[in-house]
Structure 1
Amino acid sequence: MILHGTARSVDPAAEGRRLPLSPLLALATAVFITSLTETLPAGLLPGIGADLGVGESAAGQLVTVYALATAVTAIPLTSATAGWRRKRLLLTAMTGFGVANTVTAVSTSYPLTLAARFVAGVAAGLAWALLAGYARRLAPARLQGRAMAVAMAGIPVALSLGVPAGTFVGKALGWRTAFWSMTALTAVLIAWIIASVPDHPGARRSDRTPILGALRVPGVAPVLVVTLVFVLAHTILYAYIATFLDRYGMGGSAGSVLLVFGVASLVSIWVVGVHIHRRLRTLALAATLLVAAAAAVLALFADSPAPVYAAIALWGLGWGGVPTLLQTAAGEAGGVRGDAAQAMLVTLWNVAMAGGGVVGGVLLARFGPASFPRSVLVLLAPVLLVVLAARRHGFRDARPVSAAPPGSGNGVPDAR
Structure 2
Amino acid sequence: MRKVFLLTIGMFALGFDAYVIAGLLPNMGATFKISASQTGQAVSVFTFCYALAAPIFATLLAGKPMRRILVLALAVFSLGNGASALASSFSMLLMARAIAGIGAGLYSPLAAAAAASLVPMQKRGRALGMTLGGMSTGTVVGVPLGLIIAEHLDWHATLWFITALGLIAMIGIVIWFPSFPASAPPSLRQRVAMMTNGRVAAIVGITFMTSVASLGLYTYIATILNNLADIPSVTPYLWAWGIGGTVGSFSIGTLIDRTGRPDLLMAGILAIMALAMFSLPFVLPLSILSFLPFILWGAMGWGSQAPQQHELLRLQPNHGAAVVALNSSANYLGSAIGSALGGIVMLAGLAPSRLPFAAGCLVLVTLLGQWAVVSSKGNYGKVRKNKGNQTEL
TM-score range, shorter chain: 0.7 to 0.9
Given candidates 366, 369, 377, the residue that maps to 1:382 is 369
Say whether the 8 Å CA contact 2:22–2:220 is kept in structure 1. Answer: no
- Whether 2:262 is the aligned partner of 1:313: answer no
CA distance in 2 between partners of 1:297 and 1:46 (Å): 24
- Residues 1:231 and 2:218 aligned together: no
In the aligned structure 1, how far is the partner of 2:112 from the partner of 2:314?
A: 11
Asked if structure 1 preserves the Cα contact closer than 8 Å seen for 2:44 and 2:340, the reply is no
Distance in structure 2 (CA, Å) of the matches to 1:211 and 1:144: 24
Decide whether the 8 Å contact of 1:105 with 1:180 is kept in 2. Answer: yes
- Cα distance, 1:97 vs. partner? 1.0
Asked if the contact 2:53–2:105 (Cα under 8 Å) also holds between the matched residues in 1, the reply is yes
Alignment counterpart, residue 270 of structure 1, candidates 245, 250, 269 = 250
2:334 maps to what in 1? 352
Matched, 1:202 2:202: no
Q: Which runs of 5+ in 1 are unaligned?
A: 1-19, 394-416
**2:86 matched to 1:99?**
no
1:89 to 1:181, Cα distance in 2 relative to 1, 3 A:
same
Separation in 2, partners of 1:196, 1:162? 25
Report the Cα distance in structure 1 between the residues aligned to 2:311 and 2:179, rounded to whole angstroms.
24
Quick one: distance in 2 between partners of 1:284 and 1:292? 13
- Does the 8 A contact of 1:104 with 1:179 survive in 2? yes
Aligned-residue RMSD, C-alpha: 3.9
With over 3 angstroms needed to count, the CA separation of the structure-2 counterparts of 1:263 and 1:25, relative to structure 1, is farther
Aligned-partner SS, 1:259 = helix
1:176 aligns with 2:163: no
TM-superposed CA distance for 1:373, in Å, is 2.6
Structure 1 residues 256, 111: CA separation in 2 closer, same or farther (over 3 Å shift)? closer
Cα separation, partners in 2 of 1:342 and 1:140, compared to 1, 3 Å: same
Call closer, same or farther: CA 1:366–1:174 in 2, change over 3 Å.
closer
Equivalence map 1:256-335=2 (5 Å): 256-272=236-252, 278=257, 282-283=261-262, 285-300=264-279, 302-304=281-283, 305=286, 307-326=289-308, 330=312, 333-335=315-317
Structure 2 unpaired stretches of 5+: 381-393
The reply to whether residue 221 of structure 1 matches residue 193 of structure 2 is no
Deviation at 1:67, TM superposition (A): 2.2
Structure with higher helix content: 2
2:45 equivalent to 1:65: yes
Q: How many residues are matched? A: 370
**Equivalent position of 1:126 in the other structure:** 106
Deviation at 1:353, TM superposition (A): 0.6
Aligned CA distance change for structure 1 residues 97 and 219 (closer, same or farther; 3 Å) = same
Partner letter of residue 213 of structure 1?
A
Q: Judge conservation of contact 1:301–1:307 (CA < 8 Å) in 2.
A: no
* Equivalent position amino acid for 1:313 in 2: I
Letter in 1 for 2:364: L
Alignment check: 8 A CA contact 1:290 1:314 kept: no
Output the TM-score relative to the length of structure 1: 0.72
1:37 to 7, 17, 21: 17
Q: In the TM superposition, what is the alpha-carbon distance from 1:178 to its structure 2 partner?
A: 1.5
SS at match of 2:62: coil
Offset of 1:92 from its aligned partner?
Answer: 1.6
Q: Paired residue for 2:165?
A: 185
1:74 aligns with 2:54: yes
TM-score with structure 2 length normalisation?
Answer: 0.76
Q: Distance in 1 between matches of 2:125 and 2:261?
A: 14
The offset of 1:99, in angstroms, is: 1.5
